[in-house]
Amino acid sequence: MITPPKRIISKQLGELLLDKKIINERQLQKALAVQKDKGGLIGGIFVLLGYATEEQIAQSLTTQFGYPYLPLTNYEIDAKIVKLVSENVAVQYNLIIIDKIGNSLTVAMSDPLNIHAIEDVELITNCKVQVFVSTQTDIKESIKRYYGSVSKG
């Protein structure tokens, strides 16, 4: 069983975004109301409401939990490594394997707190997972690029 990540900074994501002046108190309260009403991850709600960018959310998660941030835009990945997990798993958890050294996988995820996803990848690959944070968009584009379910562009 994987131990949940420890917070490096005890502040909630909303508080971090307030401190960085990315959002204001009114926007935080609106996002929390939307989350209470419809559910979902608060970071995604900030993006959906146009209060923050995916990059700002990803970088704030790295600050909050100590995960490294990795933009994937121009990152080259070995196609054989990517396919250590099926496209379904990659899409389901919005993650992509970016490197393998020995028995250790480096995985980019948009939700590094999804312990279930990490456990599943470890079970499927029989490897230990090291998590990097990336944006949902970067990961989705990489999944399209490496699994080829959408025509390559």
Domain boundaries, the chain: 13-65, 79-147
67 burial (CB, 10 Å; 0-12 / 13-18 / 19+) is: buried
Which tens digit of pLDDT belongs to each residue from 43-88? 889 999 999 999 999 888 888 888 899 989 888 999 899 999 999 9
Q: Could you say which of 3.30.300.160, 3.40.47.10, 3.20.20.80, 3.40.50.20 is the CATH number of the domain covering 79-147? A: 3.30.300.160
Residues whose CB is less than 8 angstroms from the CB of residue 152 and which lie 6 or more positions away in sequence, other chains included: 145
For residue 131, the model assigns a pLDDT of 94
The predicted structure's pLDDT at residue 64: 81
- The stretch 29-56 carries a mean pLDDT of 92
Where do the H-state alpha helices sit in the chain? 13-19, 25-38, 42-48, 54-65, 79-82, 87-93, 115-125, 136-147
User: Is the pLDDT score of 145 beyond 70?
Assistant: yes
